[in-house]
């Protein structure tokens, strides 16, 4: 019985630990692959084409939008970011499970275009812990952190549109829960190319 790969979308508020959880998930599961996004911003030092991003110019990206070649996309400041549809489809068709680590806006776009995808909303145990994590990251100003925290409530109102909610109290616990979700989803009959007559003939 051939199985199409599973598309797992992980998103949540800034500071919820999405990147750390995804990195640990990939370390523990060598059969998973992380989707590579495309962007119109120039490469940063050390970034490699096809590994960190697919780097394209603005006209190319806008043509991809017009041709419906993106699973999801967003414009951030002056640059576009998006998930190439062909890249994901090829991995899934080969039976590979694909992880998308994207923002909430992108996740909801994926749900519309690929409803069989599994949407997981990752949250910290409390708002105070989220604030602590943002401060420890050291990448945001106090004003930026305050702005992000103000957005958290609006972001949390979207949890009902996801398939699962995972509380990231510790990275290992969060990864354990996500692995359990993946195992359960793979057992859904709708995900198998199951031929009953062929099965009974064996």
Q: What are phi and psi of 94, to 5 degrees?
A: -85, 0
18 is annotated as contributing to ligand binding: yes
H helices then E strands: how many in the chain? 8, 9
Percent composition of the chain: helix, strand, coil (DSSP 3-state, to 5): 45, 20, 30
125 is annotated as contributing to ligand binding: no
With beta carbons less than 8 A apart as the criterion, state whether 122 and 9 touch.
no
List the structure tokens of 4.
Answer: 């199409």
| Separation CA 104–CA 111 (nearest Å) | 11
17 is annotated as contributing to ligand binding: yes
50 is annotated as contributing to ligand binding: no
Query: Radius of gyration over alpha carbons of the chain, in Å?
Result: 18
| Separation CA 155–CA 150 (nearest Å) | 10
82 is annotated as contributing to ligand binding: no
14 is annotated as contributing to ligand binding: yes
Listed in sequence order, the residues at least 6 apart from 44 whose beta carbon sits closer than 8 Å to its beta carbon are: none
Query: β-strands 7-11, 97-101: how paired?
Result: parallel
| Known binding-site residue numbers for ATP | 12-19
| Known binding-site residue numbers | 12-19
């Amino acid at each position: 019985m051939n199985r199409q790969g599973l598309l797992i979308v992980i998103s949540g508020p800034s500071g919820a630990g999405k990147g750390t959880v995804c990195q640990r998930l990939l370390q523990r599961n060598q059969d998973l692959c992380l989707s590579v996004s495309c962007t119109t911003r120039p490469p940063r030092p050390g970034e490699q084409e096809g590994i960190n991003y697919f780097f394209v110019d603005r006209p190319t990206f806008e043509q991809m939008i017009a041709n419906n070649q993106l699973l999801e996309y967003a414009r951030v400041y002056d640059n576009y970011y998006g998930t190439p549809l062909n890249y994901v489809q090829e991995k899934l068709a080969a039976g590979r499970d694909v992880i998308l680590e994207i923002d909430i806006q992108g996740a909801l776009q994926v749900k519309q275009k690929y409803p069989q995808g599994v949407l997981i909303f990752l949250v910290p145990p409390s708002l105070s812990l989220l604030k602590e994590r943002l401060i420890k990251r050291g990448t945001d100003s106090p004003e930026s952190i305050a702005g992000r925290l103000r957005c958290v409530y609006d972001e949390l109102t979207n949890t009902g549109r996801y398939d699962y909610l995972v509380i990231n109290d510790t990275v290992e616990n969060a990864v354990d829960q996500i692995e359990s979700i993946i195992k359960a989803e793979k057992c859904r009959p709708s995900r198998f190319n199951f031929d009953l007559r062929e099965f009974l003939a064996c």
